[in-house]
Amino acid sequence: MPHETTFIATIVVGLVLAFLGGLLASKLRLSPLVGYLLAGVAAGPFTPGFVADEGLASQLAEIGVILLMFGVGLHFSIKDLLAVHAIAIPGALGQIVMATALGIGVAHIWGWPFGAGLVFGLALSVASTVVLLRALEERNNLDSANGRIAVGWLIVEDLAMVLALVLLPALAGVLGGTPRGAADEAGGGTLAVALALTLGKVALFLALVLVVGTRALPWLLMQVARTGSRELFTLSVLATALGIAFGSAELFGVSFALGAFFAGVVLSESDFSHQAAADALPLQDAFAVLFFVSVGMLFDPMILAHEPFAVLAVVLVIVLGKTLAAFGIVLAFGYPASTALTVSASLAQVGEFSFILAGLGVTLGLLPPEGRDLILAGALLSITLNPLVFAGLDRLSGWLRRRPGMLGRLERQRNDRLSVLPPAHEGPRDHAVIVGYGRVGSVVGKGLKSQNLPIVVIDQNRRRVEALRKRGVPAVYGDATTPGVLEAAGTRRARLIVVATPQGYQTRRVLDLARRINPSIDTAVRTHSEAEVAHLERQGVGLAIMGERELALGLMNYALRSFGSSDDKARAVVQGVRIAGEGGVYERRHGEPWRGAPELRQNRDEAPPPD
């Protein structure tokens, strides 16, 4: 192939193979990352056929790292972290320490030096942002209390790895590798001098970015936005990300990744953060894919045959070791088993930061090349196994719920007073039990309280339960899919249960348990699909509301009034569309006439009979 087309060939072949690999992985219901990594293996020097230029691929991968870290910074939310800081910060740090210790222990057994074990353990301790977010989204868990804890945990992991990227070059000489940056400048100086130089440069860089950047960058984007040119705005965002990353490396000796991350953090606080993210996303995705392809090119698949037990040990550390560590930590902080299972399953894989750390470790002479191969093998297998981990932990969750004694022993909470109603509110009768007191449940609760109607709240957010009790609202902390928690909320004597949480499978479990405890209880639930509404209607639920449909009807009401319709006419049209929509769904599914929207039924006995 002529030399002048090597660059084009590397990009084209990399993207085409990544597309095919990602498509195949998606068809197999695996993460596309598996496909991208395998595409790199196919284009790498360890497999027959086309071999991409490794030098060009690594430089393209650096752009991918810059844009990937810029995106992480743009989406970094201090509010999300503070909301769950009580568990996310100590939990993530504890899990990193445990997983790193496991990695060091395994490396020691293999005869590796401490420096290699440290890099190896750190690389195994951090989960993939892409895989975690996708897994939570697929299970409608991203906006749940459990999902927010997992995301906050991940933010802390990312910040810890950013710190590791800063310190490893400074510590490389002490750990048996080749010092870089400030540590190299220190020459024969002490470790303290090397660390002081490194941290001093980083501090100066952060001061410039956070003090000057927070003023200059939003102002610059404002001027560009006023031109009305989308191309210029996109160019300014990319120039900011790449320019700060390159400048930070050249002037301050910090990594491209760190510079890009803080460029994103600065822009995340501006009014243009969402537009910046939207404009950077296409290129970020494309170059991030090339990053994963370039990582796959470095992987020698023969290690699976030559070192099968070593690969198995790595997978066990990631899937079993990290899972057990996170599970135990979450339980130790007094959270229910369902939260512990969700968080631990989310973290049972490794991804992009692991590859960055592995590459840095090899560059610094700390990690042997076979260590990088083992990390890549562990990543491929753990990402592939992650859906099975979720499925297995779901079965474990159901098994535990059927054994309340064992579940109770696991969930020995720090503050048992929150799992039962306070004496002033014991023995409620004829009340509404509200499961989940977030954006939806709190509106229902406030409406009932405004009419002096009794409620009891069940929520998995300990701080929220404590705040409600301080306001005099009866609240129980715990998982409503556990019979004991429903009993503690007085479900046996309740008139109504409102399930305001977004997870469909949890909703069905709560309804089933509530009806076993109190067969005459009225029910109202939140859903996210017409299929779920139809299923719940068949089960005789008093009211099942799909949030997106009600949102659409609200917009319709406003649109009609905007065109001059009276309030009464707009409401009548909306109600007609609501009834027709629900009736159409019911008739298509059951082949019989619809008997009215649940909102209009006189009583629950008119609900459609079960199939």
φ and ψ of 165, to 5 deg: -65, -30
DSSP code per residue over 151-179: HHHHHHHHHHHHHHHHHHHHHHHHHTS--
Report the pLDDT averaged over residues 5-9: 79
The contacts of residue 366 (CB under 8 Å, 6+ apart) are 115, 116, 118, 119, 168, 172, 175, 176, 177
- 458 and 313 co-located in one domain: no
Give the single-character DSSP code of 492.
G
- pLDDT for res 143: 66
Say how many domains are in the chain.
Answer: 3
- 383 and 426 co-located in one domain: no
- 395 and 439 co-located in one domain: no
Say yes or no to pLDDT of 432 above 60.
Answer: yes
> 133 is in which domain, residue-wise?
74-280+303-399
- pLDDT for res 314: 94
- Kindly report the CA angle at 538 between 576 and 523, in degrees rounded to 5? 80
First and final C-alpha spacing in the chain: 66
Q: What tens digit of pLDDT does each residue of 187-214 get?
A: 545 667 767 777 787 788 878 877 787 7
CATH number at residue 482: 3.40.50.720
- 434 and 392 co-located in one domain: no
DSSP code per residue over 330-348: HHHTT--HHHHHHHHHHTS
- 275 and 389 co-located in one domain: yes
Distance CA 494, CA 510 (A): 14
Q: What tens digit of pLDDT does each residue of 87-121 get?
A: 888 999 999 999 999 999 999 999 999 999 999 99
Distance CA 141, CA 124 (A): 24
Say yes or no to pLDDT of 413 above 70.
Answer: no
- pLDDT for res 408: 66
How far out from the chain centre does Cα 231 lie? 31
Q: What tens digit of pLDDT does each residue of 130-181 get?
A: 777 777 777 777 667 778 788 788 878 877 887 888 788 878 888 877 766 5
- 147 and 218 co-located in one domain: yes
Distance CA 184, CA 475 (A): 58
- pLDDT for res 417: 63
- pLDDT for res 293: 85
Say yes or no to pLDDT of 35 above 60.
Answer: yes
Give the confidence band of 77 by pLDDT, cuts at 50, 70, 90: low
Task: Return mean pLDDT, the chain.
Answer: 80
Tokens of 284: 């970020």
Category of 433 on φ-ψ map: left (φ > 0), alpha (ψ -120 to 50) or beta: beta
Most distant CA pair in the chain, distance: 87
- pLDDT for res 310: 93
Could you tell me the pTM of the whole model? Answer: 0.67
Say yes or no to pLDDT of 415 above 60.
Answer: no
- 343 and 484 co-located in one domain: no
- pLDDT for res 190: 60
- pLDDT for res 104: 94
Say yes or no to pLDDT of 599 above 50.
Answer: no
- Choice among 196-210, 227-241, 440-454, 596-610 with the minimum mean pLDDT: 596-610
Helix (H) or strand (E) holding 184: helix 182-185
Distance CA 611, CA 593 (A): 14
**Alpha-helix runs per DSSP H in 518-599:** 530-538, 547-562, 567-590
C-beta of residue 483 within 8 angstroms of C-beta of residue 517: yes
Q: What tens digit of pLDDT does each residue of 325-376 get?
A: 999 998 888 777 878 888 899 889 887 788 889 988 998 899 998 999 899 8
Percent of the chain exceeding pLDDT 70 equals 85
In a domain, 53, yes or no: no
Q: Which of 317-321, 387-391, 405-409 has the highest mean pLDDT?
A: 317-321
CATH number at residue 346: 1.20.1530.20
C-beta of residue 43 within 8 angstroms of C-beta of residue 293: yes
- 161 and 227 co-located in one domain: yes
Q: Which amino acid is at 343?
A: V
- 316 and 464 co-located in one domain: no
- Choice among 41-55, 93-107, 578-592 with the minimum mean pLDDT: 578-592
- Choice among 62-66, 75-79, 241-245 with the minimum mean pLDDT: 75-79
- 395 and 420 co-located in one domain: no
Distance CA 488, CA 422 (A): 10
- 393 and 420 co-located in one domain: no
In a domain, 12, yes or no: no
